[in-house]
Amino acid sequence: MLPLTGITVVTLEHAVAAPFATRQLADLGARVIKIERPGSGDFARRYDESVHGQSSYFVWLNRSKESVTLDVKSPHGREILHELVDRADVLVQNLGPGAADRLGLAAAAVRERDPRKIVLGITGWGGDGPWAGRKAYDLLVQCETGLVSLTGSADEPARVGVSVADIAAGMYGFSAVLTALYRRQVTGLGATLEVSLFEALAEWMGQPANYTAGSGRQQPRAGARHATIAPYGPFTARDGRTVLLSIQNEAEWTRFCAVFLKDPELAADPRFATNTLRVADRDALEAIVDARFAELDGADAAELLDQAGVANAGVNTVADFLDHPVLRERGRWRDVGTPGGPVRALLPPISLDGVEPRMDPVPELGRHTADVLAELGRSPEEIADLSARSVI
Q: Please give the positions annotated as active site.
A: 226
Spatial contact of 195 and 122, defined as CB atoms under 8 Å apart: yes
Residue 202: how many other CB atoms lie within 10 Å: 18
Which CB contacts under 8 angstroms, 24+ apart, belong to 382-385? Answer: none
Helix-strand-coil split of the chain, %, nearest 5:
40, 15, 45
Q: How many CB atoms lie within 10 A of CB 193?
A: 20
Q: What is the DSSP string of 279-323?
A: HHTHHHHHHHHHHHHTTS-HHHHHHHHHHTT-EEEE---HHHHHT
- What is the enclosing helix (H) or strand (E) of 374? helix 369-375
Asked if residue 15 lies in contact with residue 44, where contact means CB atoms within 8 angstroms, the answer is: yes
- Residue 68, beta-bridge partner list: 35
b or e along 357-378 (b: 16 or more beta carbons within 10 Å of the residue's beta carbon)?
A: bbbebbbebbbbbbebbeeeeb
* Cα distance between residue 286 and residue 58, in whole Å: 43
- Burial status of residue 270 (CB atoms within 10 A of its CB: 0-12, 13-18, 19 or more): exposed
Q: Which amino acid is at 149?
A: S
* 8 Å CB contact between 209 and 215: no
Cα distance between residue 51 and residue 337, in whole Å: 11
